[in-house]
């Protein structure tokens, strides 16, 4: 069976399953009472689980998580269809038309672009769409519900496109030093609100530093989280081998084991054994 033949069976069946779950008489009691707001957190969670499967390089988990994410799209489309707004077909048709419109170098007669030119053209097209929706501010259309780290990067990137930006990464590092000094100055007073304010500024500058270095702040932090977890679990395992818990070991012993674990890891860019 070809992919086209498989999708011609699987997708209608998925839509039928969703309709059955929402049936007001015979549907699932839990599904029948859900709405956009109650389902939205699950949608966000499934997107993160897709990212986790990718980070873990787990094709089987990725397939399953993509299915769960697709089901979230189907769920929201069904809720909209019940209200007479649109259905899944309209969602698919809309994004198909958008992708064709935004890739004239593939689907039209425009000159082939490199990745940088395509990104610029993509953002210009999005700006025209926002203007058509009466969103004229530079920062309009950036969802307030995005995770803070991701939203910070989008806000900074959008402002940078109109010239509100540091000239280079070195200038951002200078600003980072300034923000660290301001945070240090607030520590003696121990005012939680002022410390939180300065810490927020520090985070925002770090996001800009990632952007100027061509990195994703979110991806960098995910990688750091995974590295910390891997190393700390290794420390726990070494302690367990001696019949010792982290609480019993103390900071100095754990720090020594941490350095041992770190020294035994491959350098960045090399493959873990």
* pLDDT tens, residue by residue, 211-254: 999 999 988 998 899 999 999 999 999 999 999 999 999 999 99
Q: Where are the alpha helices (DSSP H) in 83-216?
A: 88-102, 104-107, 115-132, 148-160, 169-186, 192-212
Given this model, what pLDDT does residue 138 score? 87
Assigned token pair, 230? 């891997």
Given this model, what pLDDT does residue 266 score? 81
pLDDT at residue 121 tops 80: no
pLDDT at residue 272 tops 50: no
pLDDT at residue 50 tops 60: yes
pLDDT at residue 147 tops 50: yes
Which segment of 107-111, 145-149, 181-185, 186-190 scores lowest on mean pLDDT?
107-111
Assigned token pair, 156? 């900074």
Quick check: 88 and 74 in contact, CB under 8 A? Answer: yes
pLDDT at residue 115 tops 80: no
pLDDT at residue 14 tops 50: yes
Given this model, what pLDDT does residue 240 score? 96
Quick check: 160 and 211 in contact, CB under 8 A? Answer: yes
pLDDT at residue 194 tops 60: yes
Could you give the angle at which helices 192-212 and 217-241 cross, rounded to 10 degrees?
A: 110
Segment 203-214 shows an average pLDDT of 96
Given this model, what pLDDT does residue 108 score? 82
């Amino acid at each position: 069976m070809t992919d086209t033949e498989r999708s011609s069976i699987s997708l209608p069946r998925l839509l039928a399953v969703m309709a059955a779950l929402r049936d007001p008489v015979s549907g699932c009691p839990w599904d029948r009472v859900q709405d956009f707001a109650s389902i939205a957190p699950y949608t966000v969670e499934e997107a993160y689980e897709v990212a986790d499967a990718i980070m873990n390089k787990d094709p089987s988990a990725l397939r399953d998580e993509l299915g769960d994410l697709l089901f979230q799209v189907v769920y929201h489309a069904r809720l909209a269809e019940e209200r007479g707004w649109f259905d899944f077909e309209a969602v698919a048709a809309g994004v198909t038309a958008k992708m064709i419109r935004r890739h004239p170098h593939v689907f039209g007669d425009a000159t082939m672009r490199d990745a940088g030119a395509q990104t610029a053209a993509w953002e210009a097209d999005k700006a025209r769409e926002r203007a058509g929706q009466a969103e004229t501010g530079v920062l309009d259309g950036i969802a307030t519900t995005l995770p803070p780290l991701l939203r910070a990067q989008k806000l900074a990137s959008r402002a940078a496109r109109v010239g509100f930006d540091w000239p280079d990464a070195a200038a951002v590092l200078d600003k980072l030093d300034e923000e660290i000094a301001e945070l240090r100055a607030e520590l003696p007073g121990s005012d939680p609100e002022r410390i939180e304010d300065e810490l927020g500024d520090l985070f925002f500058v770090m996001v800009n530093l990632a952007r100027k270095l061509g990195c994703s702040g979110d991806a960098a932090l995910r990688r750091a989280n995974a590295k910390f977890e891997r190393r700390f679990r290794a420390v726990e395992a070494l302690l367990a081998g001696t019949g010792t818990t982290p609480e019993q070991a103390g900071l100095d012993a754990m720090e020594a084991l941490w350095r041992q674990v770190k020294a035994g890891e491959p350098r960045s860019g090399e493959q873990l054994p």
